Structure 1
Amino acid sequence: MVRRKTSDSDEQQNTISDRISFVFEETTFHWSEWDQQIILGSYWAGYLLTLIPSGWLSISLGAKLMSAIAIFLSSSATIALISIYYFENISFLLVVSLRILIGAAHGTLFPVTYTLWSQWAVPNERGTLASIGFSGTNIGTSLAVLVGGLFCRYIDSGWIYTFLLSGILGFIWLPLWLWQVSDAPENHRSISNAEREYIVGIIGKNSQRRSISLSALPWKTIVRSKPIIALFLTETCQLFALFFFLTNFGKILREIQQIPSQYTGYILACGFIFMLVGNISAGIAADNLVRRNFMTLVGVRKLFNSLGSFIPCLCMIVFCFCDEKRRILGVINAILFLLSSGFSYGSGYIVNYADVVPAYAGLIFGIVTTISSFGAVIANIIAGIVIKQPILEDWRKLYILFGIVYLVGGLAFMLWASATPEKWATLESQQEKETIEETVPMKESEPNDIGTRRDEHLYINA
């Protein structure tokens, strides 16, 4: 057993004495502020490494297999984090290495999920299905904040039990995933024939895994495509601010609004639950508006993405006036910020990749998100330069900057977004191209007008 190492402060001693000791005694790791930032940032270093390759591999190897590998690695590494309890001398190196591995595993999940939904979710149901799937992020974050906080408050070395629980839940999920999920409707064992024909009739048959050459993609067309430019700009602007606030909300509540630290966890958990509500409600509402012919598909994408951009922009203005004297307003504003951010996940830019580039949704999303995520890193660098002391006057400069960024991203999506698949990125056109290349390998094929008309007919009906 590692000896108990505690602070000399009476308050912490009293807190520790109230805890229950099961198997592990309480231990403290003496990491400097720089070490802690490196540990926190190591996750994102791994995350960025796998966004692009996972989108490509999910198309050639299959989304089901890639998800299973990701959860197996992340669950194993999460449980392995417990080893730092026994190896205090190398704890820093261990935790950084394992968090890089966990981040790399988690970096595959969003692109892989896009690949899966592009083959399963028809356009007028995509918002509901994708929002339900992506809502797991919010549910997991809320539960982890609440349960992890309770473990650390009432149990010696409660962080160990948090890691154990997270890893075990991953291994419980794994066999269920392998048993119940397939890459495409044609391969599913229990789906009804009517449902299979309905999905395949709209999206197209995609039961064969494909080997994609990145050099063969029409990159000039991709970088000049206005819908993809709109996706790039709005995602860059939203991640620039959203990632920053997700990691700094606790700091803002404590230092600027003077809310006691024991309450910030509950407030943030509540905020993530509201983000979940915004996510799912936007997806369901968008699909209902399309099915009842109240709005077009592109109309609902622009509507909910605008809500996810312009409401946070207004929240930035309100934050400029929220200090310890207006802490209730600050808390309500923070929750409204998270709630409205969920709209973009439910039926905004997050879902729009599968509309515009269904055959390459995971790959294009991975590329754009990798580039956009560097904006989140830049936001922290800017904050470090601008904020000289924890006072509202310094934070106002950041709020104004983030408000402008949200406004730019929302306007770009309003002007250039689309929900019509690019002709070169539909599942049907990709398969026809592969068929032509197999049957006439060395001969330049003529334009396939029939295939083009069929693609247009499919998505007009959808």
Structure 2
Amino acid sequence: MASETIENITTPRFIPSTRFIIGLLVSFAFFNQYAQRQALPIGIVCMVNRTSNNIQVNSTLYMARMEYNTTVKPSTKDTAQIFKEKRFRWNEFEQQMILGAYWAGYILTLVPGGWLSMSIGAKQVFAYCLLTSSLATLALSTIYTMAETQLLLILIIVLRIIVGLGHGALFPASYTIWASWAVPSERGTLTSISFSGTHVGTSTMMLIGGIFCRYLNSGWMYVFILSGIFGLIWFPLWLWLVTDSPREHKKINQIERDYICSIIGRKGNTKSGQLIPLSSLPWKKIVRSKPVIALFVTHSCFGYGSGYVVNFADIVPAYSSLLFGLSITFGSLASLSANFLAGFIIKQPILSDWQYIFIIFIFVYTIGGLVYLVFGSAIPRKWALVVREEHNTNNENEASIDPSEIMLKT
């Protein structure tokens, strides 16, 4: 994208540029957040030995007017090989407690994260929150050496709460970053680049986590190690290349600095296992499985719905970080309650119990979509607008603000 002059303001290249690099680093941060978030939900599949519970599912089949009582027992085929690393014997409720612990910590720092980023700057909030979660995630890899006791269960819950505490502030802080770095015409692009890391982190960790659990001894342990190391790699890059505002950046091009500041008006302050060829996997059965395809479609639809997050920057630019933190608090409370509800409903891992869970999901998603269709908007609210610095003292101009001049306020 070549430089051009618009209304006496020189528009610098977008690629490469400092603001584009910051967008990539924010995206990498969200990649790390979602990789660490998904590490335990993925790892727990190959951590828990469900065969040790000797669960028996009794079902009655009526065939040719004859009643048969059939007891379904776990298959013993290759049990010693397949389940040799599944050492933990947590029941369903304990598993849901572990998974829900993340959200218990997450909701506690959503609003404070927005407030802190507005007060002391988003750079420090981003840096040390993600560093904390990375260290806690790495600590989870050490549970392999510990005896399975109630104390270990509590330790895992505490560590996941710490991971959630570190992640809660990241989304709100990102709005503060773009309040100082994204001009209105590029806000959607930079925000989209940032949030793309969430889906890349989730999909990457699902793929890598599945491979680790299948091909490596104690593969779940490496899921935690890898996601934690990614965060440690990101940390020094963030401190070196990111500042809270363009005026504080020492390496930014002067044209780019003037461009952003003139529009926004900021003065600113390993044990390896035997590998099985990928060709041996039952790919035909996978792609022909209706439940698997149904999960793919459901997950895709859920990911498609995440585009709403940009709407905060549109309608309440001055308070987007704080209000997004408040809004996502409600969303996280719903996620936390969903984990406990699943633990309460699912007494045994059978289809009928999971059907109830998905029926509830359908109802909740439908209500959310209908409410947004009726009440949603992309029109900025007058009470949440801020004009350029040179007009701040002229209250009469606020009634006729040009949309191209709208900016975010930290």
Please indicate the TM-score interval, normalised by the length of the shorter structure. 0.5 to 0.7
CA distance in 2, matches of 1:35, 1:343: 31
> Greater CA deviation, 192-201 or 423-432?
423-432
Report the equivalent of 1:416: 375
SS state at 1:49 partner = coil
Report the equivalent of 2:295: 334
1:68 aligned onto 2:127: yes
Cα contact 1:426–1:455 (8 A) shared by 2? no
Task: Report how far residue 144 of structure 1 moved.
Answer: 1.7
The gaps in structure 1 that reach 5 residues or longer are: 18-25, 209-261, 271-326, 437-446
CA 1:93/1:341 → structure 2, altered by over 3 Å: closer, same or farther? closer
CA distance in 1, matches of 2:295, 2:226: 29
Aligned AA (1:105): G
Report the equivalent of 1:58: 117
Task: Report how far residue 174 of structure 1 moved.
Answer: 0.6
Report the equivalent of 1:204: 265
Cα contact 1:204–1:427 (8 A) shared by 2? no
Report the equivalent of 1:371: 330
The gaps in structure 2 that reach 5 residues or longer are: 1-47, 53-75, 270-280
Report the equivalent of 1:344: 305
CA distance in 2, matches of 1:68, 1:458: 30
CA 1:152/1:387 → structure 2, altered by over 3 Å: closer, same or farther? closer
Aligned AA (1:364): L
Report the equivalent of 1:79: 138
CA 1:196/1:418 → structure 2, altered by over 3 Å: closer, same or farther? farther
Question: Counterparts of 1:15-414 in structure 2 under 5 Å?
Answer: 15=82, 26=85, 28-88=87-147, 89=149, 90-205=151-266, 207-208=268-269, 328-345=289-306, 348-379=307-338, 402-414=361-373
CA distance in 2, matches of 1:387, 1:81: 26
Task: Report how far residue 76 of structure 1 moved.
Answer: 0.9
CA 1:124/1:393 → structure 2, altered by over 3 Å: closer, same or farther? farther
Cα contact 1:47–1:104 (8 A) shared by 2? yes
CA 1:123/1:408 → structure 2, altered by over 3 Å: closer, same or farther? farther
User: 1:11 pairs with 75, 78, 83, which one?
Assistant: 78
Q: Could you list the per-position Cα deviations for residues 245-278 of structure 1 after superposition, in whole angstroms to 9, with x for gaps in the alignment?
A: xxxxxxxxxxxxxxxxx889x97xx9xxxxxxxx
CA distance in 1, matches of 2:339, 2:157: 20
CA 1:410/1:203 → structure 2, altered by over 3 Å: closer, same or farther? farther
CA distance in 1, matches of 2:342, 2:92: 16
Please state which structure has a larger fraction of its residues in helix. 1
> Greater CA deviation, 68-77 or 85-94?
85-94
Task: Report how far residue 458 of structure 1 moved.
Answer: 1.5
CA distance in 2, matches of 1:206, 1:339: 42
Cα contact 2:385–2:406 (8 A) shared by 1? no
Q: Could you list the per-position Cα deviations for residues 36-92 of structure 1 after superposition, in whole angstroms to 9, with x for gaps in the alignment?
A: 221111111111111110011011111111110011101111111233233324321
CA 1:200/1:451 → structure 2, altered by over 3 Å: closer, same or farther? farther
1:450 aligned onto 2:409: no
State TM-score, norm by structure 1: 0.60
CA distance in 2, matches of 1:422, 1:177: 33
CA 1:456/1:10 → structure 2, altered by over 3 Å: closer, same or farther? closer
Over the matched positions of the two proteins, sequence identity in percent amounts to 46
CA 1:81/1:70 → structure 2, altered by over 3 Å: closer, same or farther? same
CA distance in 1, matches of 2:343, 2:388: 48
Relative contact order (alpha carbons < 8 A, sep ≥ 6): 1 or 2 greater?
A: 2
CA distance in 2, matches of 1:381, 1:36: 10
SS state at 2:107 partner = helix
CA 1:374/1:148 → structure 2, altered by over 3 Å: closer, same or farther? same
Please state which structure has a larger fraction of its residues in strand. 2
SS state at 2:90 partner = coil
CA distance in 1, matches of 2:377, 2:259: 24
| Count of aligned residue pairs for this structure pair | 322
CA 1:431/1:74 → structure 2, altered by over 3 Å: closer, same or farther? farther
Cα contact 1:356–1:419 (8 A) shared by 2? yes
CA distance in 1, matches of 2:294, 2:152: 39
Task: Report how far residue 336 of structure 1 moved.
Answer: 3.1
Cα contact 1:205–1:428 (8 A) shared by 2? no
Task: Report how far residue 381 of structure 1 moved.
Answer: 5.7
Q: Could you list the per-position Cα deviations for residues 143-186 of structure 1 after superposition, in whole angstroms to 9, with x for gaps in the alignment?
A: 22222222222322222222222222211111111111122223
Q: Alpha carbon RMSD of aligned pairs, Å?
A: 3.6
SS state at 2:78 partner = helix
CA distance in 2, matches of 1:353, 1:431: 25
CA distance in 1, matches of 2:247, 2:145: 49
Cα contact 2:176–2:321 (8 A) shared by 1? yes
CA distance in 1, matches of 2:231, 2:114: 21
CA distance in 2, matches of 1:121, 1:379: 35
Aligned AA (1:13): A
SS state at 2:268 partner = coil
